[in-house]
Amino acid sequence: MDQTDQTTHFGFRDVPLGEKQTLVNDVFHSVAQRYDLMNDLMSAGLHRVWKDIMINTLNPPKSDAPFALLDVAGGTGDISFRAARKAGAGFHATVCDINGDMLEVGRQRALKQYLEDKVSFVEGNAEKLAFPDRSFDAYTIAFGIRNVPQIELALAEAYRVLKHGGRFLCLEFSTVEVPGLDKLYDLFSFNVIPQLGRAVTGDAESYRYLVESIRQFPRPNAFAEMISAAGFSRVSWQTLSGGIVALHSGWRL
């Protein structure tokens, strides 16, 4: 089967594989300017806690030792900024994202936070990274991988660009399995979030996609198997906030 025959999910819709990225790009072009505000509103600020847990797990060196982070689907730079503030003088982050509008918001934020020397921004596709083999100490991807049409390709690229001993960390929405919380979460996701999206960004559809895409993403154990299949060792994960989010880890050893 060639790529033109294959289909994939765009939220709850089946779409040709080759079309998903364009649809995803439209979503993030539409919401870029209000993306950070919407994150705070949708999660009541919880996304900050989840991101801090990711950075604490990454634990970048506080010394002068060089440490290169690649933050893929890094959008407006949240993960890289948090890591840069925690790390020592040898730290540098590269935010790579397919969407120029998200990156532009990130560049402006870097300037405001005086982090422009610590964080750089590069347009690129997670499925085909324009970086040499074994060039990074760590690879992070936060709330990004479920938007990538071919997740296996992104994982293979993550493995390729990491140095031996390098760490892969993925923060992503997951599956709520706490009785009671699951119903509440569904109600909130399908009713409140698209309406909030309409009020804040004028775009309910993009937020409907974001909610639906969460439901299509593999469960934590299945995703861990995909990470192992890409070659990573010591793959593990922890769920946060009753399973709303999962943090997966793997090492290139």
Residues 8-27 that bind ligand SAM (CB under 6 A): 21, 24
Whole-angstrom CA distances from 217 to 19, 76, 87, 148, 200 are 18, 22, 31, 11, 26
Q: Which is nearer to ligand SAM, 146 or 252 (CB)?
A: 146
> Which CB sits closer to ligand SAM, 142 or 169?
142
Structure tokens at 62: 């506080």
- Is there binding between residue 98 and ligand SAM (CB under 6 A)? yes
Q: Residue 67's beta-bridge partner residues?
A: 91
**Residue 128: CB minimum distance to ligand SAM, A:** 9
Q: Does 78 bind ligand SAM (CB under 6 A)?
A: yes
Tokens 């999206």 correspond to 197
Q: Which is closer to ligand SAM, CB of 49 or CB of 253? A: 49
Residue with tokens 């009541």: 44
Query: Could you say whether residue 217 binds ligand SAM (CB under 6 A)?
Result: no
Q: Is 229 annotated as a binding residue?
A: no
Give the residue closest to ligand SAM by C-beta. 75
Contact between 129 and ligand SAM per CB under 6 A: no
Q: Which is nearer to ligand SAM, 143 or 159 (CB)?
A: 143
Comparing CB distances to ligand SAM, the nearer of 98 and 224 is 98
- Rounded distance between C-alpha atoms, residue 148 and residue 125, angstroms: 9
Strand pairing of 119-123 and 91-97? parallel
Under a CB-based contact definition with an 8 Å cutoff, are residues 223 and 217 in contact?
yes
Which residues are within 8 A (CB) of 220 and not within 5 positions of it... i.e. 6 or more apart?
174, 175, 237, 239, 246, 248
Q: Compute the distance between CA of residue 239 and CA of residue 178 in angstroms, rounded to an integer.
A: 12
Binding residues for S-adenosyl-L-methionine: 76, 97, 125-126
Binding site for ligand SAM (CB under 6 A): 21, 24, 28, 72-75, 78-79, 97-99, 102, 125-127, 142-144, 147-148
